[in-house]
Amino acid sequence: MSFTVAILGRPNVGKSTLFNRLVGRQLALVDDLPGVTRDRREGQGHIADLAFRLIDTAGLEEAPPETLAGRIQAQTERSLDLADVVLLVIDAREGVTPGDRHFARWLRRTGKPVILVANKAESRSAQEGLGEAHGLGFGEPVAISARHGEGLGELYERLLPFAQEEEAPPEGQSEKPLQLAIVGRPNVGKSTLVNRLIGEDRVLTGPEPGITRDAIAVDWAWGGRRVRLVDTAGMRRRAHVEARLERLSVADTRRAVRFAETVILVSDALQPFERQDLTIANLVAEEGRAIVLAANKWDLVSDPKATFAKLRERIEESLPQLRGVALVPVSGLTGYGVDALMKAVFAADAVWNRRVPTGALNRWLSAIQEHHPPPLVSGRRLRLRYITQVNTRPPSFALFASQPGELPESYRRYLVNALREDLALPGTPIRLMLRKGENPYAREPR
């Protein structure tokens, strides 16, 4: 069964808490501060056996269209267009406010089916508010407590008539989508780039820094390949992050990186690869994700050739663990370079998933030792006996040595760089684990 439900209401009535309750996990940021949610967030909601697409929205507020609040309101209105049914959430403890009445009139004019949900109804003080709710003209309110999970049985009964039989997915759509996260410092143009990639104004943009707070996932396709694209909040230096809400946003971004397969790190081409850019790149590498670097705002660069050379030199010096990583000049504003960016994304994903045959690995190991032998330990040469790939995503290798604990870190880095260059693994994190033991595939003596 599949239909779309949008959650609407004033700020701070518990919309995001209800969203998290229905999707079954902490997807949306929740805080006592009003107006935490800005972009619309989507998830797969369910109550018992009833499944539906769920959209969380920002609080309904009247504002001029050119302001940030006005742009947020436009996002909410687009969510309404996508919905089959609306959950209008009010705070039962506060009762019906003039704002509730105003937006109830607005919803009635749209002609969308509306279910009135009275949240925070777990206490006796909510009874008066429940009585007032009948006056909004949407019939009997559903009394719930999103925080405690109470009242969902009645909500199930009210949503059930909107359920339809789920259609079979189109042919060629069964492949799992690529999980792609877009990260970077605040105000480098991540959301503008996301909107350019998907071809619509899906996420909020504007001159104000820090507009994006939640990690917003968008299902999309490029060249016939399904992609789950995640726009994230900007990450400032940890010492500059003081407000609790910003800490929650940064934690959400880190979570998006952990669940991603490939990450696009967006930097400002006019302020190329500052210290925080390198910190974020190191975070992605430590998490073992495939990575592509995007130099945004390329339409403002006066000397593209010199700027690109400077960027490449900076990357090679500061990110040796990602040697050969793709660097793509782009402009989210004009669309320059977005096709090249997505080609680099899928190329990085292919490298991240690459498996090298064991025979090729051991021929490589033999040639490496002949060209640059391991160091002496207590007058004896370390023996590197055997190597095999134990995993992909990222490429991970086990190296069997006579005394693995004595192998210097410098020689280990040499091996990793040689693996990357000789076996076509550019720009991806590589894991090399040292093991003690004999060749496990060697024949046992008879």
pLDDT in tens, 23-63: 987 765 555 555 555 567 888 999 999 999 998 887 666 66
Third-level CATH fold of 178-352: Rossmann fold (3.40.50)
| Dist CA 407 CA 140 (whole Å) | 73
User: Residue 393 forms beta bridges with which residues?
Assistant: none
CB 324 within 8 A of CB 417: no
| Dist CA 15 CA 41 (whole Å) | 11
**Which pLDDT score is estimated for 442?**
56
**Which pLDDT score is estimated for 29?**
53
**Which pLDDT score is estimated for 335?**
95
**Which pLDDT score is estimated for 439?**
52
**Least confident piece of the model among 28-42, 85-99, 426-440:** 28-42
pLDDT over 50 at 297, yes or no: yes
3 state DSSP class of 420: helix
The torsion of the CA quartet 348, 350, 351, 356, rounded to 10 degrees, works out to 180
Phi, psi of 417 (to 5 degrees): -65, -35
**Which pLDDT score is estimated for 129?**
75
- What is the DSSP secondary structure assignment for residue 65, as one 8-state letter? T
CB neighbours of residue 260 within 10 Å: 25
| Dist CA 330 CA 310 (whole Å) | 16
Q: Where are the alpha helices (DSSP H) in 5-67?
A: 15-23
**Which pLDDT score is estimated for 117?**
94
> Taking residues 67-94, what's their average pLDDT?
81
CB 315 within 8 A of CB 324: no
Scan for tokens 């808490």, then name that residue: 17
Residue 106 pLDDT class (50, 70, 90 cuts): confident
**Which pLDDT score is estimated for 213?**
61
> Taking residues 102-127, what's their average pLDDT?
87
Residue 403 burial (10 A CB sphere; 0-12, 13-18, 19+): middle
pLDDT over 80 at 64, yes or no: no
Determine the length of the chain.
Answer: 446
Residue 74 pLDDT class (50, 70, 90 cuts): confident
> What is the 3 state secondary structure string of 117-149?
EEECCCCHHHHHHHHHHHHHCCCCCEECECCCC
- C-alpha triplet 282, 286, 289: angle, nearest 5°: 95
**Which pLDDT score is estimated for 1?**
45
Buried residues in 130-161 as b, exposed as e (16+ CB within 10 A): bebbeebebeebbbbbbeeeebbebbeebbee
**Least confident piece of the model among 243-247, 249-253, 306-310:** 243-247
Query: Across the beta sheet with 327-329, what order do the strands follow?
Result: 216-222, 225-231, 178-184, 262-268, 290-296, 327-329
Global pTM? Answer: 0.75
| Dist CA 211 CA 213 (whole Å) | 6
pLDDT over 60 at 143, yes or no: yes
> Taking residues 232-247, what's their average pLDDT?
68
- Domain 358-436 CATH class label: alpha beta
Residues contacting 440, CB < 8 A, separation 6+: 386, 400
Q: Where are the alpha helices (DSSP H) in 3-126?
A: 15-23, 68-82, 98-110
**Which pLDDT score is estimated for 27?**
67
**Each residue's pLDDT tens digit, 315-373:** 999 999 999 999 999 999 999 999 999 999 999 999 999 999 999 999 999 999 999 99
Within this chain, domains 4-162 and 358-436 share the same CATH topology: no
* Residue 194, token pair as written in the block: 């996301």
**Which pLDDT score is estimated for 217?**
84
| Dist CA 231 CA 101 (whole Å) | 34
**Which pLDDT score is estimated for 387?**
94
**Which pLDDT score is estimated for 30?**
52
| Dist CA 5 CA 83 (whole Å) | 5
CB 162 within 8 A of CB 127: no
* Residue 334, token pair as written in the block: 């004009």
Give the domain ranges of the chain: 4-162, 178-352, 358-436
User: Residue 199 forms beta bridges with which residues?
Assistant: none
* Rounded CA Rg of the chain: 27
In the chain, % of residues over pLDDT 70: 84
* Residue 234, token pair as written in the block: 């900007």
**Which pLDDT score is estimated for 86?**
93
Q: Residue type for 297, please?
A: K
**Least confident piece of the model among 250-259, 353-362, 383-392, 407-416:** 250-259
Scan for tokens 């704002």, then name that residue: 99
| Dist CA 122 CA 125 (whole Å) | 9
**Which pLDDT score is estimated for 135?**
85
> Taking residues 90-116, what's their average pLDDT?
89
Mean pLDDT computed over every residue of the chain: 85
**Least confident piece of the model among 86-100, 143-157, 211-225, 406-420:** 211-225
Residues contacting 339, CB < 8 A, separation 6+: none
pLDDT over 60 at 406, yes or no: yes
Third-level CATH fold of 4-162: Rossmann fold (3.40.50)
CB 420 within 8 A of CB 323: yes
**Each residue's pLDDT tens digit, 360-400:** 999 999 999 999 998 887 777 788 999 999 999 999 999 99
